Amino acid sequence: MSTKLTCKQAQKMIRAYLDDELNGRDSAAFISHIRNCESCRYELETSFIMDYAVQYLDEDKVDGFDIKGLLDKRIQEGEKRMTTRRVLGILLWAAVIVMALAIIIILVMLLAPDFYSTVIFPISRLLFT
């Protein structure tokens, strides 16, 4: 489902990714590119490290700080969020389908009771008991 990015597109998104400004689909595409592309990942790490360096030089906290570990954690959290979103999407579709089926069954019950009792009822008994 995710669209493939070119390196040029991915590198343009680095800034937005670090600033947390990508929407769900873009950040999914971005992370999957980063996972498979050494040079873009290197670009991302560099920008990320620069960000932190600037931030932490100000605060004298650079010593022993695991910047790369932080980036890995951030990427993993992004992936986890994507999985959650995907599962929620599937559950939502399942709910919509179940509701649509229920509505169809109710309509058939109301509009064609004979069809309901000879076809749908036996099938739904098979399915739901």
- In this structure, the number of other CB atoms found within 10 A of the CB of residue 51 comes to 15
Of the ranges 8-16, 19-27, 56-64, 86-94, which one interacts with Zn ion (CB under 5 A)? Answer: 8-16
Closest CB 33 distance from Zn ion, rounded Å: 6
Terminal-residue alpha carbon distance, the chain = 35
Residue count at the site for Zn ion (CB under 5 A)? 4
Cα–Cα distance, 110 to 90 (Å, whole number): 30
Closest CB 21 distance from Zn ion, rounded Å: 20
- In this structure, the number of other CB atoms found within 10 A of the CB of residue 123 comes to 10
**CB-nearer residue toward Zn ion: 37 or 105:** 37
Q: Name which of residues 28 to 87 contact Zn ion (CB under 5 A).
A: 37, 40
Rg of the Cα atoms in the chain: 25
**CB-nearer residue toward Zn ion: 34 or 52:** 34
Applying CB under 5 A, among 2, 3, 4, 7 the residue interacting with Zn ion is 7
Q: Tokens 């010593």 label which residue?
A: 63
**CB-nearer residue toward Zn ion: 72 or 112:** 72
Q: Hey, what are 13's tokens? A: 């998104």
Three-state DSSP state, 66: coil
Q: Which residues bind Zn ion (CB under 5 A)?
A: 7, 10, 37, 40
